[in-house]
Structure formats: structure tokens, C-alpha cells
């Protein structure tokens, strides 16, 4: 029993090590990709917030201009 178990691990061990290594590296790469995606989303949200502030200023100025125009 001990010899067959040893033989099994000698024949299947390298594949198990390779599988664990591939699983670990793919999860690590996925985590890095996910972190990069979240950073991109945060950057885009920051840009959109700045744009919305500028949009409010433009809308307020347009309202002021409409108020200054004489009625038709």
C-alpha cells in the first residue's frame, strides 16, 4: 500500500504542483486586473463629478441669461 501510494504521488505530484501554481497565478492576475478596473471606474466617476459641477454652472448661467431677456 505504501509503495503504491508513493508511486501515485510521484506520477501525479508534478501535475498537482503545476495545477496549484497555475491556479494561484491566475487568481493573482485576476485580482490585479480587478483592482485596475476598480481604479479606472473611480477615475471615471471623479471626472463625471467634475463635469456635473461644470454642467450646473452652465445651466445656472443660461437661466440668468433667460431671465435678462425681454419677454416676447
Q: What digits encode the pLDDT tens for the residues 32-56?
A: 999 999 999 999 999 999 888 888 8
What is the model's pLDDT at position 33?
A: 97
Q: Which domain holds residue 35?
A: 25-72
What is the model's pLDDT at position 31?
A: 97
Kindly state whether residue 72 falls inside one of the protein's structural domains.
yes
The single residue listed with the C-alpha cell 463629478 is 49
Kindly state whether residue 65 falls inside one of the protein's structural domains.
yes
Kindly state whether residue 2 falls inside one of the protein's structural domains.
no
> What is the pTM (predicted TM-score) of this model?
0.58
Q: How many domains does the structure of the chain reveal?
A: 1
Kindly state whether residue 4 falls inside one of the protein's structural domains.
no
Compute the distance between CA of residue 15 and CA of residue 6 in angstroms, rounded to an integer.
15
Kindly state whether residue 30 falls inside one of the protein's structural domains.
yes
Kindly state whether residue 44 falls inside one of the protein's structural domains.
yes
Backbone angles phi, psi at 67, to 5 degrees: -65, -30
What is the model's pLDDT at position 71?
A: 75
Compute the distance between CA of residue 13 and CA of residue 10 in angstroms, rounded to an integer.
5
What is the model's pLDDT at position 1?
A: 62
3-state secondary structure of 71: coil
Amino acid at each position: 500500500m505504501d509503495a503504491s501510494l508513493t508511486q501515485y504521488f510521484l506520477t501525479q505530484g508534478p501535475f498537482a504542483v503545476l495545477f496549484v501554481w497555475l491556479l494561484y497565478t491566475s487568481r493573482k492576475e485576476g485580482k490585479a486586473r480587478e483592482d485596475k478596473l476598480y481604479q479606472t471606474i473611480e477615475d471615471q466617476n471623479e471626472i463625471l463629478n467634475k463635469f456635473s459641477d461644470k454642467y450646473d454652472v452652465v445651466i445656472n448661467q443660461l437661466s440668468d441669461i433667460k431671465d435678462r431677456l425681454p419677454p416676447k
